[in-house]
Amino acid sequence: MNVFGNKTKFAIECKVNGVSPYIMGYIRLWLQNSYIGFFDEEVMLVTSLGSLEELVGENRAERLKKISVPKEMSDEKLLKLLENDKGKIHDYTMFNVDESTDDFSIHIYRDGQLMNFLWRLHISPARKYGNYPGKTFSVAIDFSELSNT
């Protein structure tokens, strides 16, 4: 596996399996020593990288700056609010890398220079997740850490 970045801050871990006709492999994100994504399904890495580029892209960054998130809520309640919202807030904050993160509910929002990630694994009886915790995670990362990885 190759790791780009620092797992204690923000990193992308991936493995290339083949390049014909598409670059295929495995990918997952690391946010402050916690990972999002599983290596159980091969994905088109160009699609994954496109999602990650969009994460730090100017359009999304500007949209996320306009969203007001209630700071007095617990992470658990805030994630439920974002998951259940059927409007623009949900559309702007929802994030998915590719099939490797399909079992996760991931939402992001900006607070000044910080990019905030909230996520939780949704357990499916048909899959095995090892010892991955079923709790809600919350991590704030300086936007420059994302754009420099």
For CA atoms 88, 89, 93, 95, give the dihedral sign. negative
- Do residues 116 and 110 make contact, with C-beta atoms less than 8 angstroms apart? yes
The predicted model scores a pTM of: 0.85
Q: Walk along the chain (149 residues) and give the pLDDT tens digit of each residue.
A: 899 999 999 999 999 998 878 899 999 999 999 999 998 889 999 999 888 888 777 777 677 766 777 778 888 988 888 888 877 777 778 888 999 998 999 998 888 788 889 999 988 887 888 889 989 999 999 887 776 76
For tokens 């159980």, the residue is 40
Written as six digits, the tokens of 64 are 């996320």
